[in-house]
């Protein structure tokens, strides 16, 4: 077994290893790998494999996984060999146009989320808002209102589960409610359990190029109900994506052109991160090869890669056989089509070892070469399995019918690998790194600098390594532009924001060219990016053959992570110690006066009221724009404690100091800068109040921006408080394995 990093062990212990009823771990990482290998190899019994051969296959599976050459998706690692036995990561469920169908889907969603899966939906079948409901002679509330019902159900389910539910919501661009769908996440406190994507047709894209109108079609009647200008709708999609990263776009015609079983119906949605288009009731088992382990003497080791691909395809096909599906309909579709999704991780690490810049023609050419090899060998392995075990059940009428045998309707997918890449100690998916060196928060609350091992090795070998340089790099995350770092090294070690959006999308297109399903990737933009630049990427994605795209402009949604530098620590050291002198709490006066400020937070609009009497500031009230819930009760508690402190003689500035900079998983970007949490918003309101009372109104809309340029990092992990990053259409923590989309 390969030696696991400290981060890998932490993630395995927290999220994967078996526990007893008291929450204590009862297996080691090595025992986990053995459990998974043994459980999956049991599928070989179905195909009359001899017991001795099964033991050899089990050993091969174990070696491949424990050496971190290949890892299956998280549910397989978590559940294989356990009573739950649900091994699939992603599902798509249909949403029919009746109350019975809608709530049947919500019930099925609950069962899937309970078992650890994520779900994708198209709401395109639902009649539009204000359309007639024949059974009651009333009117429909439309797709967006029902998305809110799904969101609330997911919220309830995840409160009692061990894994967070995640959803993808899709709507066709020709649905009459498309404008309300595009803007449905303008208020970031709504639809928090959904990623959203517009299903864009080729007809729409061509109309947008020409500035022409296109038809809106009522799905209930199939009739045209109106028209919109395609370029203006495209402008709105671009504007919202520029503002918040959503919606993404999915080129649905292109996806259906590659649908391997069109005789079974059209694909209408994807999984939550967008890389897996699926028919209704389909699921997919994913796995990723760690490319960081396949470089030998400065070259890609294609021979060893070939053997690993064959093992991985067999493993994933066996997963389909031993999987315990949450619904009979899902079992029928999965056993009928046997879709697998073999992808990769460690792409940036491979490029580092080969000394190839991510943003180069050479890197894109290598991407095509590597992925075409995985595709070719993967299909050959599936064909060999078909000769042993038979074609997939729904083979007749498929694109393979009469051409070649095929065990699996699809073979390749490039998925996000948030926690898998931590276990394998490699870069995630096909993404570049988000920082060459960065601060990592450890258990005692201190920050340590963590440096990419490939960069550290090069720096030491070439003699420019120093602790001072690593400190300098950690404050920006990037080495480009640093005179201490040789220019060729700067080129090779580019980070997500060093690389221009055009190169991001060119890399995605290079991998998509040889991928059956789709490629999960985020195109990162700097904060200063314009809407026109977003438009160029969307258009380039369409032109280059991508099946969809997701963008994220730094600071546009969650803000950025506040990473401490030297000045912050110095300020902490000089902080005055609280006085031990006993304070007398004065009574609340009968009458006060003050001001109320509205501040936008990740939880919605927060109204902060600061009141004073003749003795000075005496109380703080807060009101969240949406009523009820844990957030409101916690804010009420903060307000009461602040008021108590003020009437006990604590200075308003001291309260401000302790509230400012507190981070939560849902920061946002407000007027003048980042609002990192509701507590931070109260601190901002106090800061503004102090400025106003001292006659410095010019400071009221100047929110401090003590932010390092590790700008692809956003927010704080809700589990461990470490940095989270926006990649592969999701938010992930590279320290404890938290994933918003898991």
User: 98: domain CATH number?
Assistant: 3.20.70.20
Q: Please compute Rg for the chain using Cα positions.
A: 27
492 token code pair: 């090779």
Task: Please give the average pLDDT of every successive group of 10 residues along the chain, which has 742 residues.
Answer: 90 92 93 98 93 96 98 95 93 95 95 88 95 74 94 76 74 98 89 94 98 97 97 97 95 98 97 95 96 97 98 98 96 98 98 98 98 98 97 98 97 94 95 87 63 96 96 92 97 96 97 97 93 97 97 71 34 37 66 85 83 86 67 81 85 86 68 75 87 70 43 55 70 72 63
Q: Are residues 596 and 479 in the same domain?
A: no
Residue 90, pLDDT score: 87
684 token code pair: 């901002």
Q: Are residues 486 and 594 in the same domain?
A: no
Of the candidates 237, 272, 307, which is a domain's last residue? 272
Residue 722, pLDDT score: 63
Question: Is there a domain that residue 278 lies in?
Answer: no
Tell me the residue ranges of DSSP E strands in 494-586.
Answer: 522-525, 548-553
Residue pair 564/628 in contact (Cβ under 8 Å)? The answer is no
20 token code pair: 């007893």
Any idea of the CA torsion for 280, 285, 290, 296, to the nearest 10 degrees?
-100
Please give the tally of structural domains in the chain: 3
The candidate with the shortest Cα–Cα distance to 75, out of 112, 122, 47, is: 112
Q: How far is CA 237 from the centre of its chain?
A: 20
Residue 701, pLDDT score: 52
Residue pair 477/437 in contact (Cβ under 8 Å)? The answer is yes
Report the alpha-carbon distance of residue 265 to residue 673 in Å, rounded. Answer: 48
Parallel, antiparallel, or unpaired: how do β-strands 730-733 and 340-345 relate?
A: unpaired
Question: Is there a domain that residue 518 lies in?
Answer: no
The candidate with the shortest Cα–Cα distance to 174, out of 109, 112, 125, 235, is: 125
Q: How close are the terminal C-alpha atoms of the chain, in Å?
A: 26
Compute φ and ψ for 627, nearest 5 degrees: -80, 155
Question: Is there a domain that residue 78 lies in?
Answer: no
Residue 157, pLDDT score: 77
Residue 614 CB-half CA count within 13 A: 3
Look at the alpha carbons of 371, 373, 379, 385 in this order and tell me if their dihedral is positive or negative.
Answer: negative
Residue 158, pLDDT score: 65
Question: Is there a domain that residue 98 lies in?
Answer: yes
Report the alpha-carbon distance of residue 136 to residue 89 in Å, rounded. Answer: 39
Of the candidates 272, 301, 332, which is a domain's last residue? 272
Task: Give the structural domain span for 654.
Answer: 587-706
Cβ neighbours for 25, distance < 8 A, ≥ 6 positions apart = 13, 17, 18, 19
Compute φ and ψ for 227, nearest 5 degrees: -140, 155
Residue 580, pLDDT score: 39
Q: Are residues 250 and 149 in the same domain?
A: yes
Burial class (CB in 10 A: 0-12, 13-18, 19+), 303: exposed
Question: Is there a domain that residue 594 lies in?
Answer: yes
Question: Is there a domain that residue 115 lies in?
Answer: yes
Q: Are residues 479 and 591 in the same domain?
A: no
Report the alpha-carbon distance of residue 447 to residue 437 in Å, rounded. Answer: 12
| Residues known to be catalytic | 271, 273, 275
Tracing tokens 């729409």 back to the chain, one arrives at 204
Question: Is there a domain that residue 113 lies in?
Answer: yes
Of the candidates 234, 254, 272, which is a domain's last residue? 272
Question: Is there a domain that residue 622 lies in?
Answer: yes
Residue 275, pLDDT score: 94
Q: Are residues 476 and 610 in the same domain?
A: no
**Whole-prediction pTM value?**
0.80
Residue 442, pLDDT score: 55
Task: Specify the DSSP class assigned to residue 14.
Answer: I
Residue 137, pLDDT score: 61
């Amino acid at each position: 077994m390969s030696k696991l990093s400290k981060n890998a062990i932490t993630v395995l212990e927290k999220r994967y290893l078996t526990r007893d009823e008291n929450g204590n771990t009862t297996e080691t990482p090595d025992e986990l790998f053995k459990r998974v290998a043994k459980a999956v190899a049991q599928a070989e019994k179905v195909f009359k494999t001899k017991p001795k051969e099964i033991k050899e296959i089990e050993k091969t599976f174990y070696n491949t996984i424990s050496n971190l050459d290949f890892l299956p998706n998280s549910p397989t690692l978590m559940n294989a060999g356990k009573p739950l036995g649900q091994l699939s990561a992603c599902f798509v469920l249909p949403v029919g146009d009746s109350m019975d169908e809608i709530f049947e889907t919500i019930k099925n969603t609950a069962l899937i989320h309970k078992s650890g899966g994520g779900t994708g939906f198209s709401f395109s079948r639902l009649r539009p808002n204000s359309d007639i409901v024949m059974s009651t002679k009333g009117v429909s509330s439309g797709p967006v209102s029902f998305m809110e019902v799904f969101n609330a159900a997911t919220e309830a389910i995840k409160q009692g589960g061990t894994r967070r539910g995640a959803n993808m919501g899709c709507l066709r661009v020709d649905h009459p409610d498309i404008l309300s769908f595009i803007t449905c996440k303008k208020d970031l406190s709504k639809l928090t359990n959904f990623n959203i994507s517009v299903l864009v047709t080729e007809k729409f894209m061509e109309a947008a190029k020409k500035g022409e109108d296109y038809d809106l079609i009522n799905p209930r009647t199939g009739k045209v109900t109106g028209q919109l200008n395609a370029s203006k709708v495209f402008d709105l999609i671009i504007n919202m994506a520029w503002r918040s990263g959503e919606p993404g776009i999915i080129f649905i015609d292109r996806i259906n052109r590659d649908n391997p079983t069109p005789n079974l119906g059209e694909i209408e949605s994807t999984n939550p991160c967008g890389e897996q288009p699926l028919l209704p009731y389909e699921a997919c088992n994913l796995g990723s090869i760690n490319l960081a382990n396949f470089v030998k003497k400065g070259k890609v080791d294609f021979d060893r890669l070939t053997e690993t691909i064959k093992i991985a395809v067999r493993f994933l096909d066996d997963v389909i056989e031993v999987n315990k599906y949450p619904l009979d309909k899902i079992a029928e579709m999965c056993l009928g089509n046997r879709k697998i999704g073999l992808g990769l991780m460690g792409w940036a690490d491979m490029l580092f070892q080969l000394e190839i810049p991510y943003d180069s023609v050479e890197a894109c050419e290598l991407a095509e070469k590597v992925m075409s090899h995985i595709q070719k060998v993967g299909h050959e392995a599936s064909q060999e399995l078909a000769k042993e075990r038979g074609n997939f059940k729904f083979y007749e009428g498929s694109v393979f019918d009469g051409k070649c045998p095929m065990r699996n309707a699809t073979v390749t997918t490039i998925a996000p690998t948030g926690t898998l890449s931590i276990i394998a100690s490699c870069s995630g998916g096909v993404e570049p790194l988000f920082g060459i060196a960065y601060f990592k928060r450890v258990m005692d609350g201190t920050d340590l600098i963590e440096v990419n091992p490939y960069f550290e090795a090069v720096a030491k070998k070439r003699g420019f390594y120093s602790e001072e340089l690593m400190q300098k790099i950690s404050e920006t995350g990037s080495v480009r532009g640093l005179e201490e770092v040789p220019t060729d090294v700067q080129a090779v070690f580019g980070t997500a924001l060093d690389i221009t959006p055009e190169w991001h999308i060119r890399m995605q297109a290079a991998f998509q060219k040889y991928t059956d399903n789709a490629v999960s990737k985020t195109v990162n933009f700097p904060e200063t990016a314009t809407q026109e630049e977003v438009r160029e990427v969307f258009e380039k994605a369409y032109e280059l053959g991508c099946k969809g795209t997701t963008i994220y402009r730094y600071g546009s949604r969650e803000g950025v992570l506040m990473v401490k530098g030297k000045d912050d620590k110095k300020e902490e050291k000089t902080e005055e110690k609280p006085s031990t002198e006993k304070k007398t709490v004065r009574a609340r006066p009968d009458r006060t006066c003050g001001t109320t400020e509205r501040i936008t937070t990740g939880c919605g609009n927060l109204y902060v009221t600061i009141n004073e009497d003749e003795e000075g500031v005496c109380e703080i009230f807060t009101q969240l724009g949406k009523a009820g819930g844990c957030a409101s009760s916690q804010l009420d508690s903060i307000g009461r404690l602040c008021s108590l402190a003020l009437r006990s003689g604590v200075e308003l500035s001291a309260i401000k100091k302790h509230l400012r900079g507190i981070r939560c998983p849902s920061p946002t970007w407000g007027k003048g800068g980042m609002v990192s949490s509701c507590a931070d918003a109260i601190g901002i309101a106090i800061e503004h109040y102090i400025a106003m009372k001292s006659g410095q109104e010019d400071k009221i809309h100047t929110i401090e921006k003590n932010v390092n340029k590790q700008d692809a990092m956003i927010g704080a992990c809700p589990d461990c408080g470490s940095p989270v990053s926006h990649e592969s259409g999701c938010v992930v923590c590279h320290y404890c394995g938290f994933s918003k989309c898991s």
